[in-house]
């Protein structure tokens, strides 16, 4: 169960749920409640599918490009750190789009790169390579899907959360998430360097 909870919490914070929620609310300002709910479901399904593909086929990507796991750890950790800094500063690209048919926003930009950014992709690939048995892979996949479903529920209930927390509240939570991400990215880089140097 320790693997489940650690993977769940790690993936939940890496996907910057409160930032995703604030972007979701921004691009659905003029949408009806039913449109928001339909879009939330589409985004959740897209993120689950993309994340599982990255998790399961990460090892093959390493093999094709001849990349070592520790080199990827350092690269992914660095990208994640940049995302964390942008999140804290409030400069993360919100991918502003014109309001047309909001259902078109489900995959791009809401799934990629808002929810699954470069840092998240890197962490998913590293995580997939780290699972050394079918049992741990299955448990990790379940934790990942649960984390995404919680984010999906947040998006589905976005109107209620917006009324309760407000824009300022979401901004504060987003910055706190950024701090957690910065610490997590540092840990990933340190692990990569430590293993690379054989310490």
- Write out the chain's pLDDT in tens, 199 residues: 899 999 999 999 999 998 899 889 888 888 889 999 999 999 999 999 999 999 999 878 888 989 888 888 888 888 888 888 888 887 555 444 444 578 888 998 899 878 998 788 889 999 998 888 999 999 999 999 999 999 999 999 999 988 898 878 888 888 888 888 888 889 889 999 999 898 8
What pLDDT sits at residue 91? 57
Q: Which two tokens stand for residue 22?
A: 């604030």
What pLDDT sits at residue 63? 84
What pLDDT sits at residue 146? 98
What pLDDT sits at residue 6? 93
Q: Give the integer Cα–Cα distance in Å for 122 and 190.
A: 15
Q: Give the integer Cα–Cα distance in Å for 94 and 187.
A: 27
Cβ 28 vs Cβ 35: under 8 Å: yes
How does DSSP classify residue 31?
-
CA–CA distance from 68 to each of 72, 81, 117, 143 (Å)? 6, 20, 21, 25
Q: Give the integer Cα–Cα distance in Å for 58 and 129.
A: 6
Cβ 129 vs Cβ 62: under 8 Å: yes
Cβ 32 vs Cβ 101: under 8 Å: no
């Amino acid at each position: 169960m320790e693997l489940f909870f650690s993977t769940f919490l790690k993936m939940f914070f890496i996907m910057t749920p409160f930032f995703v929620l604030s972007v979701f609310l921004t691009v659905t300002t003029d949408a009806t409640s039913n449109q928001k709910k339909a879009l939330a479901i589409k985004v959740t399904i897209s993120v689950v599918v993309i994340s599982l593909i990255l998790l399961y086929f990460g090892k093959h990507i390493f093999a094709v490009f001849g990349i070592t796991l520790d080199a990827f750890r350092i690269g992914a950790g660095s990208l994640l750190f940049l995302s964390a800094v942008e999140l804290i500063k409030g400069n993360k690209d919100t991918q502003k789009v014109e309001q047309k048919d909001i259902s078109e926003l489900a995959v791009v930009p809401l799934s990629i790169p808002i929810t699954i950014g470069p840092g998240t992709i890197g962490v998913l690939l590293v995580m997939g390579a780290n699972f050394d048995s079918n049992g741990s892979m299955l448990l990790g996949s379940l934790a990942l899907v649960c984390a995404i479903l919680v984010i999906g529920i947040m998006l589905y209930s976005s109107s209620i959360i917006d009324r309760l927390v407000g824009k300022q509240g979401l901004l504060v939570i987003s910055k706190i998430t950024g701090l957690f991400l910065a610490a997590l990215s540092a840990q990933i880089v340190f692990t990569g360097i430590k293993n690379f140097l054989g310490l």
